[in-house]
Amino acid sequence: MSDIQSFRQSVETFISARGWTPTRFGRAIAGDPLFVFDLREGREPRSDTRNRILKAMQDHSETQALTPLRIGVAGLGNVGATLVRIIQKDGEELTRKLGRKLVVTAVCARSRSRDRGIDVTDLEWFDDPVALAKSDSIDLFVELIGGEDGPALAAVKAALEIGRPVVTANKALLARHGVNLAKLAEESGAQLGFEAAVAGGIPVIKTLREGLGSARIARVYGIMNGTCNYILTRMGNEGISFDECLKDAQKLGYAEADPTFDVGGFDTAHKLAILASLCFGCEIAPDEIFVEGITTISQADIKVAGDLGYKIKLLGIAHRSADGIEQRV
């Protein structure tokens, strides 16, 4: 491997490991916002420039290893409280894997008195998520409030506008405003991370954003909602009704008290909008997607499908056609 190839690999590894944008690396390390873009286009910087940048990367890594990453979490529902619990409980293991200590220093939620099974005694408390997003007491803002507008959108925008990295699992927010938020992140040099918004257990978003290079994607489809898949699987395997399966799913915590967002197909539509926008490089709004949920599926439908050698599943599907991008649930 030549010196320039090794240098390019070092730069890409540095960026990927920190979740930085190319612009942020250019500004913080190289002193040129377009440096990475030029490097990827074949530019070969002089040896003294490479050495200067390698030294800056090393200095940053050493400083970062000694400085804890201070995290502010907005929203302490099931996901938010679990995140805080994991960081508090498994801090040493996370430090070993990541090379930097993670510390939750501040939180924001509606009620201070609610028992969430976590210790918030020593955490700075905010009633306003926007104030948390802009606070100097955090390095990373995590949005787990939910909702496509309102405080969630305001807080994420506030963090990105000052160049603060954001992590969110809010698929409704991303499906509606993802393109504009991504532009804002690029302009400020902040990182917008949203891997948990779609298929949280599978690194599908990272793969689409970073791993496919020049590959041209023609179609994306899949099962994107666990609640619907649980219901349809039990209906097929056990011969029980939709209503009975739904009640069991609610008892087990797989379905919400109001399951409309899941069984109506809207959750899948939001996830599909995010994936399709990444795959095809265009903005796709959830309300542009034809949606048909599973509420009308009966045992008669299950039987007919089985007789034909099929199983019924709720799929999110998007593909290129002569008329543009077609999508449906």
Active site residues: 271
Sheet containing strand 192-193, edge to edge, reads 124-126, 102-108, 69-74, 140-143, 166-168, 192-193
Residues 6+ apart with CB under 8 A from 296: none
What's the rounded Cα separation, in Å, for the pair 255 and 261?
10
Burial class (CB in 10 A: 0-12, 13-18, 19+), 56: middle
Q: Give the dihedral sign, CA 119/121/127/133.
A: negative
Residue 251 to residues 254, 258, 262: CA-CA distances in angstroms?
8, 12, 15
Are 11 and 53 in contact by the 8 Å Cβ rule? The answer is: yes
Start-to-end Cα distance in the chain: 47
Q: Locate 31 and state its tokens.
A: 């002193």
Pairing of strands 140-143, 166-168: parallel
Residue 295 to residues 95, 123, 298, 299, 318: CA-CA distances in angstroms?
45, 43, 8, 12, 22
